[in-house]
Structure 1
Amino acid sequence: MANKNFNPGLDYARELDQKDPLGSFRDRFYQLESDKIYMDGNSLGLASKDAEEALLDMFNVWKTEGILLWNTKGGYYFQYAREIGNRLAKLICAGENEVIVTGNTTINVHQMIGTFWRPTKERYKILVDDLNFPTDRYAVDSQVELKGMKVEDVVKVVKSRDGIFINEDDVIEAMTDDVAVILLPSVLYRSSQLVDMERVTKEAHKRGIYIGWDLCHSIGCVEHDFEKIDPDFAIWCNYKYLSGGPGATAGLYVNKKHFGKPVGLAGWFGNRDETQFQLRHKFDQAPDAIAWQTGTPSHFAMAPLNGVLNIYDEAGLKNVREKSLNLTAYLMYLIDTTLLEYGYSYNNPTDDTKRGGHVSLVHNEAYRICLALKDHNVIPDYREPNVIRLAPIALYNSYEDAYKLVEALKTIGENKEWEKYSAERAMVM
């Protein structure tokens, strides 16, 4: 699918902003000082006024109620993770109590692999790809080693043909009779490829294989219909597109057909409500996704997410997705018409049905260009070996932001400004 028809010039960008039905939501988010252009919302979303209000409200409940907060508002705060989970479920078309806010991404991978991977002599392999974010693989390998098995014997890796994209045909071909569980990303964090989740899930289920998805780089940006996709489980973080705050409690989905399946990691907040405070030493598993909670949830790490979901309720994920696709298409148009002569290109899909929410800008001097961009008041995101991830977020980035970003990249390219910077890698970039 070709990029949409756009026009050049700053006036055109401003015209798009004037017509933007989501433009007013920008004022609900705190912009960075000095009018910095923030293009890193796919790593950490900006703070919103709604998130701030929700966090302060939570602090006030603690301040005024103390331990009594568990019984305030009919047990609302005792069930806080469930309440927010059911709000999140609407973003992926999941059913009631299929989503719980708990843990972090890595712990939730451990939890799901520990639950769904019960190796037998015939089925014992875990199928993964070689492009997913490393933490998923660390957790998978750790689970294998905890069972006294060898990673090289158990973990089956589908290798990318080009180091950029996953080929769904290769994944399906790798679904042999010895595969028990599959874990894949919905959107690749480097290239922004949106995998055909429905097709891959159906093929896994035809072969009796459990399959789960990492939604870290899609939730809050891409529309998912879990009623149609019907995966067995999913995990994700809530601090990227969803702007739940640094270290926000993560999300976990378990298909209702697996309710009652013994959890991989049991903890007291996964116990049935009615017997939880009887403090028995035998786990009485909750009857739904609540069972996959472990320890006491962090309300301060959940409250900002609860606040920002008000914005999603008002804006509508369908509208967010539409603007996200248009913003990234516009950014690609500007790259094609302005930057190619300076050695820039991109390696993300142009097809709307196959692209997540960011553009993967490629340049041989990507790292040093990122440093130069920061001196142009642009906050990008770098990924080895040569990718500048640019994520114009639908709720708070403008078309003018995209235009000014490209103008900065053009200036850097014209003057080879990257030569002023060291190529030595910083700890965080």
Structure 2
Amino acid sequence: MNTEKAYAAYLDQQDELANFRDEFYIPENTIYMDGNSLGLLSKRAEQAVDDMMASWKTYAIDGWTNGNEPWYYLSEKLGAVTAPLIGASPEEVVVTGSTTTNLHQLTASFYQPEGKKTKILADTLNFPSDIYALKSQLKLKGYNPDEHLIQVESNDGNMLDTKDIIDAMADDVALIVLPGVLYRSGQVLDMKTLTDEAHRRGIPIGFDLCHSIGSVPHQLSKWGVDFAFWCTYKHLNAGPGSVAGLYVNRKHFGREPGLAGWFSSSKEKQFDMEHTLTPAQDAGTYQIGTPHLLSAAPLLGSLEMFAQAGIDNIRQKSLQLTQYFIELLETELTDYGFTIANPRKTEERGGHIYLEHPDAARICKALKADGVVPDFRKPNGIRLAPVALYNSFTEVWKTIQILKTIMNEERYKQYENERGIIA
């Protein structure tokens, strides 16, 4: 393993995506390794917001149908531009809502308990908000979550076994909701196999793509996935609170959404103002309210870069960055008590590195004090996300050197080993 800085510089020289770094506002004197929590602002996203404000200023209410980006069709347009990132057709994707409101919508639409099929299958490693939503939906249907929410256990606290998930697909399961990538360890689940096995048993299945969209390619339509949902402020770099997205396989088109609303309507019928909904004949019917235009606008700029870079190229660089990270960790930091807890196989590894250490919280504080922005996950996890569009191999090398100095000099001991209010 070549641990010299010059080798990192060589890798940067070979990087075909390196120029995209200039598109982003990089905090001064900072190595930003937290793009899997909040992506950085790009100049194109900033311009797209300015353009949306100008449209409002210029057209007022006529902005719904006039201008370069008519607001009435923006959610569908952004869905179409997002579709290649997840292997979907344009009409199967819409940008709307938030991660959790979209999960509520999709669960309300696809969770149809009948007879003994009353349970929802999830897992113990998923992000808490998904579990909150699923429990809430069970209660709304009159079921006790303690009895009707099945959560597949992990054997090691970090990863899920595909066989264990399949074994839990029992006759009483009415719906399956799983993460595409586990938010702690970065494990990529085998979505194709899980979808095939769910459908063999007549169970609809959906995936949370928050930690995979924009860093890992998917083929949702080809795999036959029923639905998916995601945020856009992580790898898609659309900003805090930016509008989320959802996918619904075309085989489900024509059905009424579980939670109907103003924008669930067919666009041609919406302003007939009838009290009987005529559902849109695509994923757009799973919208509920009016598009959040100013929070969706950054995607116009950000997704343009993804179209230019190509998700396969992004994935290739992402894997190279994380592999380089792992090799440096194994070479430079073997004696400091770190455990590399993310998958080693490339096909199973998402876009971030996950380290475990008993002093993880205080190490994260020390890293930040030395100019590296990491992410702490309770109880003892450190996430480091080298993002393909704006992080470099040299930054990975520098992060390892800074971390090594922190451990050598025990700088972390000046901090409490407790997380901050936001971790």
Matched with 2:65 is: 71
Matches within 5 A, 1:130-169: 130-169=124-163
CA deviation after TM superposition for structure 1 residue 424, in Å: 3.4
Matched with 2:366 is: 372
1:238 equivalenced with 2:232 (yes/no): yes
2:255–2:279 contact (8 Å) kept in structure 1: no
CA deviation after TM superposition for structure 1 residue 162, in Å: 1.3
Matched with 2:260 is: 266
> Which letter maps to 1:10?
K
Matches within 5 A, 1:300-379: 300-379=294-373
Query: RMSD of the alignment, in Å?
Result: 1.1
Matched with 2:5 is: 10
Moved over 4 A (4+): none
CA gap of 1:74–1:316, structure 2 versus 1, over 3 A, is closer
CA deviation after TM superposition for structure 1 residue 56, in Å: 0.5
1:53 equivalenced with 2:71 (yes/no): no
The one-character-per-residue Cα deviations of 1:94-143 (angstroms, maximum 9, x if unpaired) are 01310010100001110111000011122111000000001000000000
The one-character-per-residue Cα deviations of 1:10-47 (angstroms, maximum 9, x if unpaired) are 111111111111111100011002x2000000000000
Matched with 2:277 is: 283
Q: Distance in 2 between matches of 1:423 and 1:336?
A: 24
> Which letter maps to 2:6?
D
2:376–2:419 contact (8 Å) kept in structure 1: no
> Which letter maps to 2:98?
N
> Which letter maps to 1:19?
Q
CA gap of 1:82–1:276, structure 2 versus 1, over 3 A, is same
Q: Distance in 1 between matches of 2:419 and 2:88?
A: 41
2:59–2:67 contact (8 Å) kept in structure 1: no
The one-character-per-residue Cα deviations of 1:314-367 (angstroms, maximum 9, x if unpaired) are 111111000000000000011000011111221001110110000001111000
1:31 equivalenced with 2:31 (yes/no): no
> Which letter maps to 2:41?
A
Matched with 2:220 is: 226
2:93–2:248 contact (8 Å) kept in structure 1: yes
1:411 equivalenced with 2:405 (yes/no): yes
2:12–2:393 contact (8 Å) kept in structure 1: yes
3-state SS of 1:78 partner: helix
> Which letter maps to 2:352?
H
Matched with 1:251 is: 245
Matched with 1:187 is: 181
3-state SS of 1:126 partner: strand
Gap runs ≥5 in structure 2? none
Gap runs ≥5 in structure 1? 1-5
CA deviation after TM superposition for structure 1 residue 75, in Å: 7.6
Q: Distance in 1 between matches of 2:99 and 2:341?
A: 26
Matched with 1:83 is: 77
2:360–2:417 contact (8 Å) kept in structure 1: no
Q: Distance in 2 between matches of 1:357 and 1:127?
A: 26
1:21 equivalenced with 2:16 (yes/no): yes
Choose which of 174, 193, 198 in structure 1 pairs with 2:168: 174
Matched with 1:111 is: 105
CA gap of 1:74–1:331, structure 2 versus 1, over 3 A, is closer
Structure 2 length as normaliser, TM-score? Answer: 0.98
CA gap of 1:149–1:97, structure 2 versus 1, over 3 A, is same
1:101 equivalenced with 2:95 (yes/no): yes
CA gap of 1:403–1:74, structure 2 versus 1, over 3 A, is closer
Q: Distance in 2 between matches of 1:23 and 1:358?
A: 19
Q: Distance in 1 between matches of 2:183 and 2:87?
A: 23
1:41 equivalenced with 2:63 (yes/no): no
Q: Distance in 2 between matches of 1:247 and 1:401?
A: 27
Matched with 2:203 is: 209
Q: Distance in 1 between matches of 2:149 and 2:256?
A: 23
3-state SS of 2:85 partner: coil
1:239–1:245 contact (8 Å) kept in structure 2: yes
Matched with 1:3 is: none
CA deviation after TM superposition for structure 1 residue 147, in Å: 1.6
Choose which of 360, 382, 386 in structure 2 pairs with 1:388: 382
Structure 1 length as normaliser, TM-score? Answer: 0.97
Q: Distance in 2 between matches of 1:127 and 1:235?
A: 17
CA deviation after TM superposition for structure 1 residue 268, in Å: 0.5
CA deviation after TM superposition for structure 1 residue 177, in Å: 1.0
Q: Distance in 2 between matches of 1:205 and 1:285?
A: 26
Count of equivalent residues: 423
Percent sequence identity is 49
1:76–1:83 contact (8 Å) kept in structure 2: no
1:324–1:394 contact (8 Å) kept in structure 2: yes
